[in-house]
Amino acid sequence: MHYRPLGRTGMKVSPYALGTMMFGAHGNTDHEDSVRIIHQALDAGINFVDTADFYAGGETEEIVGKALKGRRDGVVLATKAHLPMGEDPNMRGNSRRWLTRALEDSLRRLGTDHVDLLQIHRPDPDTDIEETLSALTDLVRAGKVRAIGTSSFPASYLVEAQWVAERRGLQRFRTEQPNYSILDRGIESEILPVVEKYGMGALVFSPLAGGQLTGRYRKGRASDGRREGMFSYLGDERRLDAVEQLLALAEKSGISLTHMATAFVLAHPGVTSAIIGPRTKAHLDDLLAGADIALSDDVLDAIDAIVPPGTDIGRMDMVFQPPALTDPGLRRRPAAQRAAADAPAA
C-alpha cells in the first residue's frame, strides 16, 4: 500500500479509506462480522477509517470503537458532525453548542480521547462560519481533534472559510469530502481546483455511484439501481445509458467496472483517498483486488468521451443544495413588488 499526504496536515493515509456507513442498522447488523471486516482492511494496509455520528444513530461509531481497541495508534480516524441526532432542534447543525457536545458523544462511542479528523458533514446556512471555525479551533487546541475538514461544501463556501480562518487566526479546513465518480464529475470544475489551491486533502465518497458502477444494475432489468440503499439519483435513464457504455469499455480493457471506477477517481491529482464502503467480506475482497490498478491514458480518454469532464449525469439527491436552489423566495421578488413593477405609470 502506497500512502499519500492528507493535504498539508503531515499525516499520511492510504489511497483507500474505509467507509463505515454500511456497518450497523443500515447494512451489516452483525457487529462481530463488521469488526472482522474492519480488521481485514487494516491488515491489508488501509490506515484511514471514516465514520460519522449520524450513521445508524451512533451505532456505527460504537462498532468502529470495538474494532480499533488495541489498534487505535495505527489508524487515522475521521468522523463527522452536523446531521440530526435527536428531535431537539439544537441536536444538529454547526453551532458551537452542538459541535462541542457531538464530539464528546463521538469520542465516547469510539472509545478514544481524540479523532484525527473532525469533518462538518454539511454546510449550515443558519450558522456563521466564524462561529463554526472558532468552536473547532478550541477543540483542536484542547487536543481532542488533530485536523478539521468539510463534506459536500460548495467551492464558494470553501473559499469563504479559508478567508475567515486567515483573517481571524482560526484553524482552517484541511480536507473536503465530496461525492465523485465517473458519473458524478461536477467537482472537477471548481471544488477539486479549490482543494488543490488551498493545499487541502480530498477524500471522495461513493466512487461506485451508489452501486451503479458495480455492474449489478443494468438497463431494462427489474432492479436497475435507481432507488437502492441510501442513495437515490435524478436523471436515471442517462446514467443507465452511460453505465452500459462503461461496462463495454471495462470489458475491452480487461478489468471489472468496479476496479475501473475506483481507479478513475484515484487518478485525479487532487484526490487523496477514495472511500470504499463494503458491507461484506466479499465486497472488501473485490475492492482490495483492484487497489493497484492504474488506468492508461487511452482508457481515461475513452471515459472522458462517455462522460465529459466536469459533468454530472443526474444528481445524487442527498448532496447539499444551497438555499438559493431550494427556496424559491430567494430567487423571486415578492409578488407585490413584481405587480408594482408591471403596473402602468400613472
Tens-digit pLDDT profile for residues 310-323: 999 987 666 788 88
**Quick one: how far is CA 30 from the chain centroid?**
24
Structural domains of the chain ordered from first start: 4-320 (3.20.20.100)
**pLDDT tens digits for 178-198?**
999 999 999 999 999 999 999
Cα separation, 183 vs 106, in Å, equals 33
Q: Which residue has the cell 441526532?
A: 85
The pLDDT assigned to 337 comes to 75
Structure confidence at residue 346 as a pLDDT band (50, 70, 90):
low
The predicted model gives 257-268 an average pLDDT of 98
Residue with cell 483486488: 289
Radius of gyration of the CA atoms of the chain, in A: 21
The answer to whether the beta carbons of residues 81 and 112 sit under 8 Å apart is no
What confidence category does residue 331 fall into, taking pLDDT thresholds of 50, 70 and 90? confident
pLDDT, one tens digit per residue, over 204-262 is: 999 999 899 998 877 766 454 544 444 455 547 889 999 999 999 999 999 999 999 99
pLDDT in tens, 132-165: 999 999 999 999 999 999 999 999 999 999 999 9
Which of the following is catalytic: 16, 55, 157, 233? 55
Q: Residue 345 has what pLDDT?
A: 64
Catalytic residue flag (residue 157): no
Asked if the model's pLDDT at residue 267 lies above 90, the reply is yes
Nearest CA among 191, 186, 193 for reference residue 311: 186
* pLDDT (tens digit per residue) in 79-128: 999 999 999 999 999 999 999 999 999 999 999 999 999 999 999 999 99
Predicted confidence (pLDDT) at residue 22 exceeds the cutoff of 50: yes
Q: Does the structure show a pLDDT above 70 at 199?
A: yes
Pull the grid cell for residue 275. Answer: 472511500
pLDDT tens sequence across 50-66: 999 999 999 999 999 99
Residue 318 pLDDT: 65
State in Å, rounded, how far the first CA of the chain is from the last one: 77
Q: What is the SS3 assignment for 32?
A: helix
pLDDT of res. 80: 98
What would the grid cell of residue 313 be? 449525469
Give pLDDT, residue 219: 74
As beta bridge partners, residue 176 has 150, 202
Share of the chain above pLDDT 70, in %: 93
Could you tell me if 151 and 176 are in contact, meaning their C-beta atoms sit under 8 angstroms apart? Answer: yes
Q: Distance between CA atoms of 45 and 212, rounded to whole angstroms?
A: 27
